[in-house]
Amino acid sequence: MKQPLHVTSEIGALQTVLLHRPGKEVENLTPDYLEHLLFDDIPHLPMIQKEHDYFAQTLRNRGIEVLYLTNLMTEALHTEELRQQFVKQILLESNVHGGSAQKIADYLLSFDTEEMVKKIMAGVRKSEIPVEKRNHLYELLDNHYPFYLDPMPNLYFTRDPAATIGNGLTINTMREVARRRESLFMSYIIHHHPRYAEFDIPIWLDRDYPCPIEGGDELVLSKDTIAIGISARTAAKSIEQLAINIFKRQKEIKRVVAVEIPKSRAFMHLDTVFTMVDFDKFTIHPEIQNKDGQMDIYILEQGKEEDTVKITHKTNLLETLKEVLGLKDVALIPCGGGDVIAAPREQWNDGSNTLAIAPGVVVTYDRNYVSNKLLREHGIEVIEVTSSELSRGRGGPRCMSMPLSREDL
């Protein structure tokens, strides 16, 4: 039977992808909580939805099956017991306890499943549920905060909470509190959605793993090589454990290349500074390398004993890519052409964050015209999507998509 999850490269023809259409969670952003919720501005909801619909249609026009997080989650919660269990878990993870917990649970469960899922994503404002008598000082102070359940405006970056590798996936422990609950949706989908539940899908790292990892750092370079960013969001320990777990069960995967990148907001994940666009072509933001073009790269391979890895240190990205991919030459296409202004400007709006839908065919934001032109000059087919509002969340087409299945190369 066909595996429901199957990704053996970054560039094999994309067959099925998971998206999330931004919803009311985006309208629960206010200036006071922007930083905490990892946004730099407040998107205009009708426009961000229009842009997202255009992105989804662009993929469908190329024959790609687009699945939506809300639909899968609604279908996964197919019994009353599952609905209740999910609500209990989300309240726990949202730090809602005490007297208000039951009231909020009853409120959420009063909606049909689709509305309930949307409401949980959008957040629950205190004004939505009648105030109880407050007896304690902490309850009075707590009241200054507008939400019982925080909104999850980053959900449209489906890349990060979970990532497909081979026939399995990681369901991620997310680094930032604002995003930590997001991976619970994929956990329910994998375990309870009829499309996935009957398969024995390997979970390479699960969301109870104590160290963080996010999908933006996870790149499947080829059927035997994975690259993972050591970044602001992904810890070295997670990468080593992931490698050990994969080597044990998916024997085709021979190595994990851990690429250290600066830990900053602009470079939050490896895919904000480096993506694969063709067999031998990559986008890169030049600032991840030092002046001599060097950086720290570690190749992890199966160690002599079980549950150990052999680690080799490298410093040259180009040479390492040639070695692990068995290529004579590799082109690194600099974001914004490496220009002192265009490069950081376009990187800020995800100029290096391309979604490959086939070898040499990528989806990018239209606003990054310098990078797009350069990609075309390198023979890449560039399909542009509108991006005024989508880009405000600091993620691009790769961040906004979780490939579930790609054709093998």
Strands (E), 11-146: 14-19, 65-68, 124-125
C-beta of 100 vs 272, nearer to ligand CIR: 272
What are residue 361's DSSP bridge partners? Answer: 358, 381
What is the rounded distance in angstroms from the CA atom of residue 245 to the CA atom of residue 262?
Answer: 26
> Which residue of the chain is nearest ligand CIR when measured via CB?
216
The distance of closest approach from Cβ of residue 90 to ligand CIR in the complex, given in angstroms and rounded to an integer, is 19
DSSP 283: E
The distance of closest approach from Cβ of residue 300 to ligand CIR in the complex, given in angstroms and rounded to an integer, is 22
The distance of closest approach from Cβ of residue 169 to ligand CIR in the complex, given in angstroms and rounded to an integer, is 15
Query: Which of these segments, 4-12, 13-21, 263-271, 276-284, binds ligand CIR (CB under 6 A)?
Result: 263-271
Could you give the 3-state DSSP secondary structure of residue 351? Answer: coil
Q: Does 52 bind ligand CIR (CB under 6 A)?
A: no
149 to 188: interface string for ligand CIR, x by CB under 6 A: -----x--x-xx------------------x---------
What is the rounded distance in angstroms from the CA atom of residue 396 to the CA atom of residue 368?
Answer: 11
C-beta of 59 vs 76, nearer to ligand CIR: 59
Structure tokens at 372: 């797009």
Catalytic residue among 76, 288, 399, 400: 399
Query: Which of these segments, 3-11, 139-147, 246-254, 388-396, binds ligand CIR (CB under 6 A)?
Result: 388-396
CA angle 149, 155, 160 (to 5 degrees): 120
CA angle 397, 348, 24 (to 5 degrees): 55
The distance of closest approach from Cβ of residue 175 to ligand CIR in the complex, given in angstroms and rounded to an integer, is 8
Structure tokens at 324: 């692990």
Q: Does 268 bind ligand CIR (CB under 6 A)?
A: yes
What is the rounded distance in angstroms from the CA atom of residue 307 to the CA atom of residue 246?
Answer: 10
Cβ atoms within 10 Å, residue 378: 14
Cβ atoms within 10 Å, residue 386: 17
The distance of closest approach from Cβ of residue 22 to ligand CIR in the complex, given in angstroms and rounded to an integer, is 12
Q: Does 38 bind ligand CIR (CB under 6 A)?
A: yes
Which phi and psi (to 5°) does residue 269 adopt?
-130, 160
The distance of closest approach from Cβ of residue 154 to ligand CIR in the complex, given in angstroms and rounded to an integer, is 5
List 4, 123, 166, 395, residue binding ligand CIR (CB under 6 A): 395
Name the packing angle between helices 183-192 and 69-76 (round to 10°). Answer: 50
The distance of closest approach from Cβ of residue 23 to ligand CIR in the complex, given in angstroms and rounded to an integer, is 16
Could you give the 3-state DSSP secondary structure of residue 208? Answer: coil
Q: Does 271 bind ligand CIR (CB under 6 A)?
A: yes
Contacts of 129 (CB under 8 A, 6+ apart): 100, 103, 104, 107, 148
Q: Does 272 bind ligand CIR (CB under 6 A)?
A: yes
What is the rounded distance in angstroms from the CA atom of residue 409 to the CA atom of residue 407?
Answer: 6
Could you give the 3-state DSSP secondary structure of residue 273? Answer: coil
Query: How far lies 291's CA from each of 14, 184, 230, in Å?
Result: 36, 41, 20
Q: Does 399 bind ligand CIR (CB under 6 A)?
A: yes
List 394, 401, 405, 406, residue binding ligand CIR (CB under 6 A): 394
399 is a catalytic site residue = yes
C-beta of 116 vs 390, nearer to ligand CIR: 390
Q: Does 216 bind ligand CIR (CB under 6 A)?
A: yes
Q: Does 282 bind ligand CIR (CB under 6 A)?
A: no
Q: Does 392 bind ligand CIR (CB under 6 A)?
A: no
C-beta of 100 vs 183, nearer to ligand CIR: 183
Q: Which amino acid is at 348?
A: W
Query: Which of these segments, 21-29, 58-66, 265-273, 292-300, binds ligand CIR (CB under 6 A)?
Result: 265-273
Q: Does 277 bind ligand CIR (CB under 6 A)?
A: no
Cβ atoms within 10 Å, residue 332: 16
- Residues with a known catalytic role: 399
**Given the rule CB under 6 A, which residues bind ligand CIR?**
38, 154, 157, 159-160, 179, 216, 268-269, 271-272, 393-395, 399
